[in-house]
Each structure stands twice: as structure tokens, then as C-alpha cells.
Amino acid sequence: MRTQVGIIGAGPAGLLLSHLLHLRGISSVVLEKRSREYVERRVRAGVLEQGTVDTLVEAGVGERMLREGLPHHGIELRYGGAGHRIAFEKLVPGRSITVYGQQEVVKDLIAARLAAGGDLRFEVEDVAVHDVDSERPYLTFGGERLDCDIIAGCDGFHGVSRPSIPEGVLTIYERNYPFAWLGILARVAPSSEELIYARNERGFALHSMRTPAISRFYLQVPPDARLDDWPDERIWGELKARLETVPGFELATGEILERGVTPMRSFVAEPMQYGRLYLAGDAAHIVPPTGAKGLNLAVADVRVLTEALTAYFKDGTTELLDAYSQTCLKRVWRAQHFSYWMTTLLHTFDEDDAYARRLQLSYLDYVTSSEAAATTLAENYVGLPF
């Protein structure tokens, strides 16, 4: 078999790249080790930046998102017994976020690729990357061989793409945080029209949503937290303790549909390319979910890579491909800083460090009282323009 671009991974990055390349007349094959059912049900991010929304609409895969997604024009920072709204419509006019689950984006992209005759292969085994430092790279899987001009590694943090780069080529930057997030999906209508980021002495909590009938919640927990230690009653009790700190607010509860513990870490691998292998999304970088940047960074990478591949295949020029990593990393590091900033601003760290807690509160007061500081948060949250 032969294709122009071999894509490893059928997450948002790989599927969107395949679709955008199709629109440019460039062929691709997508290889995914999981089943279609698994990738369409995998619950991940749910906050789409303005640029991500625009990209999906421009690509012709945004119809259901526009119909079912929940546009938000602000978020609430809750601390010290009061809520403080960051008003996007005032601070960054014309830009907002849309709450629409990552798994829904994946469903839309899979449907679009299959409708266009795209070559998506699920449940493939033993994917391996070969000869990316030559002009004839190829992939093997399940006893088959796929010859490519370019290979795109969109297979996430634990995929095969990044480890295929020889030792010593990559510089790794990472930070592990001393806590994790316990996340739940619950069959209950949201108790707030917008996301609530709650800073509490008991630990951070986030009130989010997926649909008018399904809510998403997160709790800061120890990094070694076990789900067995968190029955429904304890989860709802802790959410109430951390969120019901504003007079008149009452948290609605309901059936918990899914739950999981997510470690909090920051990770960047530089460069994001080696030979004819190009990394995108979580294969190259991870951010703590506080700033809602993971999926959006993947979309940004794919936009850059699409333009570079179009120039390569249509015009024979390599300037954009050569600059791919450098171009992407500018946005990656901005998102890294914003995610780190939001995380350190809202989470409880060392219980004995009273000085650090006072600094947190001081900066929260500044962000919620200064239009300049609030604008910085708002423009980073809705996503910097492409």
C-alpha cells in the first residue's frame, strides 16, 4: 500500500488532519489501535476555543457542534465566599468558547471521513515506524506495510511515534504536580449556566457541563487517590463543600455515569519533528487540564501541519515543513504557561505554606478587580488568534 501521509492515531488530531488534507486533495491513511467504539466513547476535553470552533466549521464538520454545543461568554472564579465573573463579551468581544465533548468531535470527524471514502483502520496491531530519516519512510502494522511520503504521529502521549525518534534527539521538559483530578460525568442538569472554577482550602473544584442534562465535575485529590475510596456520597459531599460557598447556590446531584482519576502534569518534547516524522497533539505536549488547552493545541498543530504539507505536495516547497516545530512551539509554550498559571492560582499546595496561600488570594483579587488582568485571562482562555 502507498499513501502520501500515514497518520498514526484516530483522535481529534489524526482525524482532523486526515480530513483537512482530503479537502486539499492529499491522500492519507489513519491507523488506530483501538476500536471505533472505544475512540467515539472516550471522554476527554469539552471546552473548544474560538479558533477550534472556526476550524471545524470551515472544514464542514461543525454543523452538529453549532446545533448541540453550548456557547459560553464567560467563566466564574469562586473563592472567599464570592463569585467573580470573567466576561468574555466585554473583555474579548466577538470571541467565546463552546462546550462540546471531545468524543462528539471525534464522532463528527469519523462520519465525515467515512462519508468521503477515507481510509480509517481501527484495531490495528503492532504499528511501527521505519526509516523516517530517509526519503522513503513507511509504517508496518499487522503484517502489512504502508509506504508514505510523510508520517504524522497523532497517537498521544503513550503512542509509538515519539519513542520512534532516536535517543538524544529530543529535549524533554516536564513537571508533575502534587495532586490529581477526580473527574465524574453525571446525569444531572448543570447548576450553573457557565463553568465555575472554585478555589477552596479543601482543594480545587470545577463545575462544568456537556449537555443541558449532563454535567461534568472535577475535584482536586491526592495523586495516589483510588476510586474505591470515593463512593458517590463522598464525591457529592466534597463537591458541595467546595462549590456551595456562595449565598444562594445549591449544587444539584444525580446519577454518576463515569468516573476517573487524571494525573496532573506538564510535558513538552522538542523538536516536534524528526526527518519525515511530525508529531502533533499529545504525542508532543501535555498540559494540565485547568486551562482547557489540550484538544485546542492539537487543532492548532494540525492547522500548521496542513498548511506545511499543502505547500510541500502542491508546490514542492519545504520551508513551512522545516519550520513546523518552531511555529507550533510558540503557541505550545504560551498554553503551557497559561495552564501552569491557572493551576497554581486555583489549587491547594503545601498546607503549611501560609505565605503561598496569601499570594494566591492576592493574585485572585487582582485578576477579579483589574480589567487588564482579567483581559489577559480571557484572551488566553478563549484562545489566541491563529
CB contact at 8 A, 383 and 51: yes
C-alpha cell at 89: 463579551
* Bond into 271 cis (ω within 30): yes
CA atoms of 80 and 358, how far apart (whole Å): 12
Q: How far is CA 197 from CA 63, 140, 256, 291, 321, in A?
A: 29, 45, 20, 10, 39
CA atoms of 267 and 342, how far apart (whole Å): 16
Cβ neighbours, 10 Å, residue 240: 15
197 is catalytic: yes
Please identify which of the residues 33, 285, 293, 347 carries the catalytic annotation. Answer: 293
Cβ neighbours, 10 Å, residue 364: 19
CA atoms of 97 and 132, how far apart (whole Å): 38
137 is catalytic: no
Instruction: Name beta bridge partners: 221.
Output: 180
130 is catalytic: no
Please identify which of the residues 12, 137, 289, 324 carries the catalytic annotation. Answer: 289
Place of cell 469519523: 110
Please identify which of the residues 12, 19, 33, 72 carries the catalytic annotation. Answer: 72
Please identify which of the residues 79, 177, 197, 274 carries the catalytic annotation. Answer: 197
Which residues are annotated as catalytic?
Answer: 72, 197, 289, 293, 381
